[in-house]
Chain A
Amino acid sequence: MNRKLYVARSPRIAARMLGEEMLVMSGQGSTLFTLNPTATILWQSADGATPLDEIVDRRICPEFEVQPEEAQRDAEALAQDLAKHGILLISEQPISTQSIAKPVASVQQQAQEKVRP
């Protein structure tokens, strides 16, 4: 199975980092979710242009020390779940970047970035 999957943040959701968690409100019925750290990385990386397997390889595997095959399987299931709630868009083609919500770095994150070597 070599099909590529592309994921993009839905433009209809509201989202904000609150401490270590991503808070997301889906446009579908004003439902509120919190994303765990894996889902947060997936959501932040979902730019519509980067294939899901690359996101897993570059962002998820190094962060969580999991085997790529297992991580890929879990990430696909997670992406499908987030798509079901209207939080992510999934396509076998790259997704237009015009309609993608931009993640906002909090002042705390910006401060952390500044002190990193």
Chain B
Amino acid sequence: MSVLLQEMSERALRLGVPFSAQIDLTYRCNEQCIHCYLDHDDHGEMTTAEIKNLLKEMAEAGVFILTFSGGEIFLRKDFFEILECARSLTFCIKLKTNAVLIREAQAARLRDLGVESIQISIYSHRPEVHDAITKVPGSLRRSINAIRFLKSQGLKVIMANVLMTQNMQDYNGVRTLAEELGAEYTLDPTITPMMDGDRSVLALNAGESALRNLFREEAFVGNADEFCAPPPPPDENSLAALPCSAGHTACYVSPYGEFYPCVQFPLSCGNVRQQRFIDIWRDSEQLKEVRSIRLRDLSGCSQCAHGSTCTRCPGLAFMEGNMRGPSTADCEKSYARTGIPSVNLLAQKLEQKEKKSGARLVQIQIVPAITGTRLSSLGISVNAMAS
């Protein structure tokens, strides 16, 4: 994020303005990705008129960066009508798509409409791997063709590489492909639960050793020693910090008008079909609750050695059962990065041991993080994690 954009984001936070928002225009999709968190049936999407009205309300509320995503956005026959309306309201528009339906004509129209960037999901540089994940033969070829069309129009393209067990070996290949095509590259090693709470897709998550290897790839993380260094102890600033922008300067609206703090945070705060966007943003009790969360209030996390550097996602924590609790996926990333287990992982391990032994043999209290001290030096062995 540029310095100015960061500054504007901070100003938006002070002013209580929803600076960025994502609308999923549909959950329908022409790919059937094995890791997808969505139900692809149409349960009554917002109409064109409803979306246009929402766009007007969002512009008036101050939304500047607007992401259209799905599902596959190009499956909506009114997609360009919606996009034209959004551009006439001077949003900065970002798109997320698999790009399978983008040809020369669509690319030219996106250029004419001044879209800021197009993010395209690419799982592998190898068709057999990518197409097996999307379950659509020929999908990699079509997505790559689309990237060429978009680049020929001078558009900014970002290749998003979600990693899972099936493609964990291919991130260097995808990054090279992005360079060849003149696209930017971003990777995400986290598979998230289904929106309905089904956690079975989590089995696709890359394991701890694969993550550990990834976090030592300097092409991705910069200086690996610095990236994987033990975290500094949480200080007053990190204890008072906000977890992320969800509900503070960012929000999400589903194809059915449900208003969530973030696409990854399915806590319904209202529905834009029944209430004005700004009224939900300002008055929702759920959003007020989300906004009240600080690291210092979180059980476990506030005492965890990773407190100052953890990427804890409050949405994943919510899906795990408690928005004020830990997000185990992020604990696992912190562990893979530093070799230091989080308070949450240690507690889970202990619970498993107790279940196995059938009795609580030892009373262990979570020890508050001691300045500059790794948890492993508090007598809690890292090896115990793997036992």
Contacts and interface: CB of A to CB of B under 8 A. Distances in A.
B360 to A, nearest CB: 54
Interface string A14-39: 11111100010101001011100000
Given A104-B59, A105-B60, A18 B90 contact: no
A102 B91 CA distance: 11
Nearest to A105: B60
A101 B59 CA distance: 13
B357 interface: no
A104 B90 contact: yes
B11 A18 contact: yes
Contacts of B278: 107
Given A18-B15, A23-B8, A106 B61 contact: yes
A25 B89 contact: no
A45 to B, nearest CB: 15
B59 A18 contact: no
Contacts of A27: 114
B80 interface: no
B117 A30 contact: yes
A99 B62 CA distance: 22
A14 B15 contact: no
B73 interface: no
Contacts of B61: 106-107
A18 B93 CA distance: 17
A81 to B, nearest CB: 17
A19 B90 CA distance: 17
B11 A19 contact: yes
A15 B93 CA distance: 11
Contacts of A12: 114
B382 interface: no
A35 B62 CA distance: 16
Contacts of A23: 8, 64
Contacts of B4: 32-34
Nearest to B56: A104
Contacts of B8: 18, 23, 32, 34
Interface in B1-20: 2, 4-5, 8, 11-12, 15, 17, 19
Contacts of A32: 2, 4-5, 8
Size bracket, chain A contacts: 20 to 34
Contacts of A11: 87, 114
Interface string B363-377: 000000000000000
B88 A101 contact: yes
Given A30-B117, A34-B4, A102 B60 contact: no
B206 interface: no
B320 interface: no
B129 to A, nearest CB: 31
Interface in A85-115: 101-107, 110
B330 interface: no
Nearest to B61: A107
A7 B15 CA distance: 31
Interface string A65-82: 000000000000000000
Contacts of B116: 14, 25, 30
Nearest to B93: A14
A13 interface: yes
Given A19-B11, A30-B156, A14 B91 contact: yes
A106 B278 CA distance: 11
B92 interface: yes
A104 B15 contact: no
Contacts of B117: 30
B90 A14 contact: yes
A63 to B, nearest CB: 22
A80 B63 CA distance: 28
Interface of B: 2, 4-5, 8, 11-12, 15, 17, 19, 59-64, 87-93, 114, 116-117, 156, 278
The 4 residue pairs across chains A and B that have the minimum distance between CB atoms: A14-B92, A12-B114, A16-B64, A104-B59
13 contacts: A11-B114, A13-B90, A13-B114, A14-B91, A18-B12, A18-B19, A19-B11, A19-B15, A32-B2, A34-B4, A34-B8, A104-B89, A106-B60
Interface of A: 11-19, 23, 25, 27, 30, 32-34, 101-107, 110
